[in-house]
Amino acid sequence: MRQIVSGLILLLAVTGMTASTASAEPDRSAVVAGAAGGERLITLTRWDSTRQWRRGERAGTAVRDGRLAFDQPVATASVGGRSYDVARWTSPWVEPGYAFTELIASWSTQTPKDSWVEVKVRGRHGSGDRTTWDTIARWTSGDRHLLRTTGSGQSDDGTTVAVDTWRASGLVGYQVRLSLGRRAGASYQPSLDLATAMASRLPSSAGPTSAAGPARGTVLQVPRYSQMVHSGHYPRWGGGGEAWCSPTSTSMVLGYYDRLPPPRRYRWVPDGHVDPWVDHAARMTYDHAYDGTGNWPFNTAYAAPLAGKAFVTRLRSVREAERFLAAGIPVVISLAFGPGQLDGAPISSSNGHLLVVVGVRDNGNVVVNDPAADTRRHVRRTYDRGQLERLWLEASGGLAYVITDPAHPLPEGPATNW
């Protein structure tokens, strides 16, 4: 198999940056092996039904009404100096059918009071040898009791964690382990509605620009929010401005579904702050391990209980994203670009940026809500299809947040990545 070496996914918020060179995502840069012949190999496995949860090994967890819930403790853990009861679920071994180089997990949970979910993965080589378990994240929906974190590093046996992305050298299988924790002696029940794992093996180049597809002439009425109007807000959660493209994009999709959090959730934001739900989203997606709001699955984990379902995946082209637009689903994408590479952008460059794809013009060019605009009025943009597609696929491998509500089911038809 031909090995194509590529530095996918540039990123990390740099303090002191001007608005012309915004950066809002963690450093996920790495050398990865590409797929043979330029094929974009992406496989998403999901667990979100009674039948699917029951395929896994349960230890202290129970399946109720399609959810995986804490039932009884099987272990204890000390976190932040406090003791927690723990229950676990371990997936069956998953083999995508090729040697993958990256895996991104995502989840939708209810973590009441002082409770959390911990996500771990391990892999299997073609020889049958297994890697050790690596911790991807410990997630909680609030920040009163614990701080949500990721487990960057853990470089051993050919694997490493880059914030939210698990990197490996050609593994052929993997398992996911989900641990539910609650304060020792408590009776409340943290639970999971959805867990996904997206494995991929990608070429370094985007290839030819895709032809316009089923969403040609469609523009979804997604509300427009600017990250820049929050500049200087809450330095302990990134400081707004260039650092908040991800929670601003996530909030635009929630606003489209009329699923923003209720005002009581963000009443702590002072009067006069424009779009205070964006400040709230930044706080509730903040990763205290790398100090930023650009963690991909943290954003979908925040959105999922509000909207209905949300997960991280990769798409192969703008044409594939059009299937979501045609179904009424806007898509958040991650890209990076240098000076002169993205005509019409409100900033000159970014080594990691997220925006919302909301439509496609009759000529195939892509309509977006770009939160890097200085005000709401300037958020709606139209970008050249070829430029946007290349910058998206070559920077993040086609990374996308898929957020849906009950009225907008996923596109029908065969797909390995949703």
Task: For 36-59, write each residue's pLDDT tens digit.
Answer: 458 999 999 999 999 999 999 999
Q: For residue 164, what are its two tokens? A: 């939210």
Q: Which residue has the higher pLDDT, 156 or 274?
A: 274
The answer to whether 84 and 181 are in contact (CB under 8 A) is: yes
- The 3-class SS string of the chain reads CCCCEEEECCCCCCCCCCCCEECCCCCCCEEEECCHHHCCEEEEEEECCHHHHCCCEEECEEEECCEEEECCCCEEEEECCEEEEEEEEECCCECCCCCEEEEEEEEEEECCCCEEEEEEEEEECCCCCECCCEEEEEECCCCCCCCCEECCEEEECCEEEECCEEEEEEECEEEEEEEEEEECCCCCCCEEEEEEEEEEECCCCCCCCCCCCCCECCECCCCCCCCHHHCCCCHHHCCCHHHHHHHHHHHHHHHHCCCCCCHHHHCCCCCCCCCHHHHHHHHHHCECCCCECCCHHHHHHHHHHHHCEEEEEECCCHHHHHHHHHCCCCEEEEEEECCCCCCCCCCCEEEEEEEEEEEECCCCCEEEECCCCCCHHHCEEEECHHHHHHHHHHHHCCEEEEEECCCCCCCCCCCCCC
Q: What is residue 18's predicted lDDT score, i.e. its pLDDT?
A: 35
Q: What is residue 29's predicted lDDT score, i.e. its pLDDT?
A: 52
Q: Is the pLDDT of residue 19 over 50?
A: no
Q: Is the pLDDT of residue 15 over 80?
A: no
Q: What is residue 24's predicted lDDT score, i.e. its pLDDT?
A: 65
Which band of pLDDT confidence, cut at 50, 70 and 90, is reported for residue 10? very low
Supply the pTM of this predicted model. 0.92
Determine the average pLDDT of the residues in 53-70. 98
Q: What is residue 157's predicted lDDT score, i.e. its pLDDT?
A: 80
Determine the average pLDDT of the residues in 311-326. 99
1-40+206-418 has CATH 3.90.70 classification: yes
Residues of the chain within CATH 2.60.120 domain(s) are 42-201
Q: What is residue 152's predicted lDDT score, i.e. its pLDDT?
A: 79
**How far is Cα 290 from Cα 22, in angstroms, rounded to an integer?**
17
Q: What is residue 3's predicted lDDT score, i.e. its pLDDT?
A: 22
Determine the average pLDDT of the residues in 127-152. 94
The answer to whether 90 and 136 are in contact (CB under 8 A) is: no
Q: Is the pLDDT of residue 218 over 70?
A: yes
Determine the average pLDDT of the residues in 129-134. 96
Q: What is residue 23's predicted lDDT score, i.e. its pLDDT?
A: 54
Chain centroid to CA 54: how far? 25
Amino acid at 149: T
Pick one of 2.60.120, 3.30.70, 3.30.310, 2.40.128 as the CATH number of 42-201.
Answer: 2.60.120
Which band of pLDDT confidence, cut at 50, 70 and 90, is reported for residue 311? very high
Which band of pLDDT confidence, cut at 50, 70 and 90, is reported for residue 110? very high
Q: Is the pLDDT of residue 1 over 70?
A: no
Q: What is residue 35's predicted lDDT score, i.e. its pLDDT?
A: 52
Integer-rounded Cα Rg, in Å, for the chain is 20
Which band of pLDDT confidence, cut at 50, 70 and 90, is reported for residue 375? very high
Determine the average pLDDT of the residues in 103-120. 98
Determine the average pLDDT of the residues in 146-171. 88
The residue among 18, 170, 5, 179 whose CA lies nearest residue 102 is 170
**How far is Cα 41 from Cα 331, in angstroms, rounded to an integer?**
20
Q: What is residue 37's predicted lDDT score, i.e. its pLDDT?
A: 52
Q: What is residue 156's predicted lDDT score, i.e. its pLDDT?
A: 78
Q: What is residue 151's predicted lDDT score, i.e. its pLDDT?
A: 85
Q: What is residue 411's predicted lDDT score, i.e. its pLDDT?
A: 97
Half-sphere exposure of 274 (CA within 13 A, CB side): 15
Residues of the chain within CATH 3.90.70 domain(s) are 1-40+206-418
Q: Is the pLDDT of residue 139 over 80?
A: yes
pLDDT tens-place string over residues 154-165: 777 889 999 999
